[in-house]
Structure 1
Amino acid sequence: MSDIENALFNQSLEKGLAVLKAFNARRRTMNLAEVAQAAGINKSSAQRMVHTLEALGYVRKNAITKRFQLTPEVMEIGYNYLASNTLVDVANPFLAELAQVTGETTNLTEPVADDMIYVARFVGPKFIPIHMPLGSRIPMYCTASGRAYLSALPREQAHQHLSGCTFVQHTRQTRVGLDDILERVEQARRDGFSTNCEELFLGDMALAAPVRNSEGLPVAAVHVVAPTSRWTVEEAERRLGPAVLECARAITTSIRALQL
């Protein structure tokens, strides 16, 4: 960060955002000490941040437990991003068509640091074992979406990105060796789409293809959910792979026309 950027950087805003991000599925409610620890700030700062966020309507205190939790007001921030995201608008009809053609749930994810985040979905008529709400984040290294995105990056950039990741063994199927993961990325580069089978959740399989901008760089990934209870890897790649690839190409063509 340059000297100018340092001078402009607002640490209070940083702390406020850290408090908001500290709440999650594992920390649904917290007291001030827990907020401070989760956000990485001291208790005095936590008190000021929570008081301000409470006054603004983003946090509330339970009258009985005296613990703090987020309010629905927080959702407006995420909604505003989705509402202003032209990529999501462009992708939606193609995702809907892909869901109709495959009979399975389809999703659009965008990169955030080392993860992919869900920004659009069309739910198919069939049961899926894992529910991932919009806004959920999944690691790049062990998911179809992430590997599809990485496969569209220049090789050196993809290697550099993965070299900075921490690999966690989520299931027995999770690939945690850098060379092994890079080989999967290369396979996706050759095939045009990537497959993930039970590397993040048992029973979950997905096929994904990258969406590129007008410069040919990846900006997102389309993926279709193919539970192992209904699909084998071979059948999914044969029947779903071409459809996912065609959907991603159609979205790419559309956003290039808009020069996104």
Structure 2
Amino acid sequence: MADSASAGARSALFNQSIEKAFVVLGLFDAHHSELSLSEIARLTEMSMGSVQRITHTLEQLGYLVRVAQSRKYRIGIGVLRVGAQYLEANLLIDCANPYLSDLSNRCLETVSLTEPCGLDMVYVARFTSRHYIPIHMPIGSRVPMFCTASGRAYLSALDDAALHDHLERSERIAHTANTVTEIEDLVEIVQQCRQRGLAWNNAEYFRGDINIAAPVINASGQPVAAVHVTAPASRWQLENAIDTLGPPLLECARAITQAARTRR
């Protein structure tokens, strides 16, 4: 649950019951595919009565399902309805899809579109290579900005003050032996990304996973998304990926930027 400081700064219009429901839904992931009432109460620090009311309501709405064998809850397919509504209503995704598909066909690698959410980037579109890819990132997956190509592409389009603020607030965990976590080093990398016009990461989030990315900019000059190409280390080295995949990637990002501005 949110700390008391942030809670104290909230508007009187803030509805804590709705917040609690989303906190419960947010518990379910690959590590917690099924949870009992007592486990939910422990993880959320809510009373058992609150947990019972929330889970019952979410079950009735189709957002949770109770598993008969274990009597535990799992996420319900109804959650996908909300996600689908976002994807259907998102003009940027609609504009981007033809260009992402074309880039994937040209590069023969997986191409994705991500959008910012807090300190993360979220996958909102993805065209998968027919070649082997070791890591599957479904739509809705989140990755931290500080150590991923898409995140660094987004950060490279911010001013220095916003960049430093973001890095200071980030939980800079070393996900692999290659992960850069020091702010000074990260600022230097992002500045290099600005100079080259595209960003990269070399197995900093997943081992063996190289990515290069470019930002999508709105009419006000602010970053709103990033396009990235996944280049597995089994097929690519970083500089080779930048030299070979970088030009068509930049062309794709610019085309999406222009198409989105035109349609707005």
TM-score (norm 1): 0.96
Distance in 2 (CA, whole Å) between partners of 1:180 and 1:121 is: 30
| Contact persistence 2:113–2:123 (CA under 8 A) | yes
Aligned with 2:199 (options 184, 194, 198): 194
Does residue 22 in structure 1 map to residue 27 in structure 2?
A: yes
Identify the residue that residue 156 of structure 2 maps to in structure 1.
Answer: 151
Matches of 1:21 and 1:39, distance apart in 2: 10
Question: C-alpha deviations, 1:167-192, integer Å up to 9, x for none?
Answer: 10111000011111111111111111
The residue number in structure 1 matching 2:3 is none
Deviations 1:171-215 (A, max 9, x none): 100001111111111111111101111001111010000001010
Letter in 2 for 1:81: Y
Instruction: Judge conservation of contact 2:61–2:78 (CA < 8 Å) in 1.
Output: no
Gaps of 5+ in 2: 1-5
Name the SS for the 1:247 alignment partner. Answer: helix
Aligned pair partner of 1:92 in 91, 97, 107: 97
Q: CA deviation at 1:3?
A: 9.6
Query: How big is the shift at 1:5?
Result: 6.1
Q: Take 1:42 and 1:185, find their aligned partners in 2: how far apart are those partners?
A: 45
Is the aligned partner of 1:74 residue 2:40?
no
Of 214, 220, 225 in structure 1, the residue corresponding to residue 219 of structure 2 is: 214
Q: State the distance in 2 between where 1:230 and 1:178 align.
A: 30
Q: Secondary structure at the match of 2:226?
A: strand
Residue 232 of structure 1: aligned partner: 237
Is 1:171 the counterpart of 2:189? The answer is no
Shift of 1:86: 0.5
Q: CA deviation at 1:36?
A: 1.9
Q: Does 1:123 align with 2:128?
A: yes
Q: Match of 2:181, as an amino acid?
A: V
Tell me the TM-score normalized by structure 2: 0.95
Amino acid at match of 1:152: A
**Whole-angstrom CA distance in 2 between matches of 1:32 and 1:244:** 47
Percent identity for Structure 1 against Structure 2:
47
Alignment map for 1:53-64 (pairs within 5 Å): 53-64=58-69
Runs (5+) with no aligned partner, structure 1: none
CA distance in 1, matches of 2:86, 2:103: 24
What root-mean-square deviation, in Å, do the aligned CA atoms of Structure 1 and Structure 2 show? 1.6
* Paired AA for residue 36 in structure 2: N
Which amino acid is the alignment partner of residue 232 of structure 1?
Q
Kindly indicate whether residue 232 of structure 2 is the aligned counterpart of residue 245 of structure 1: no
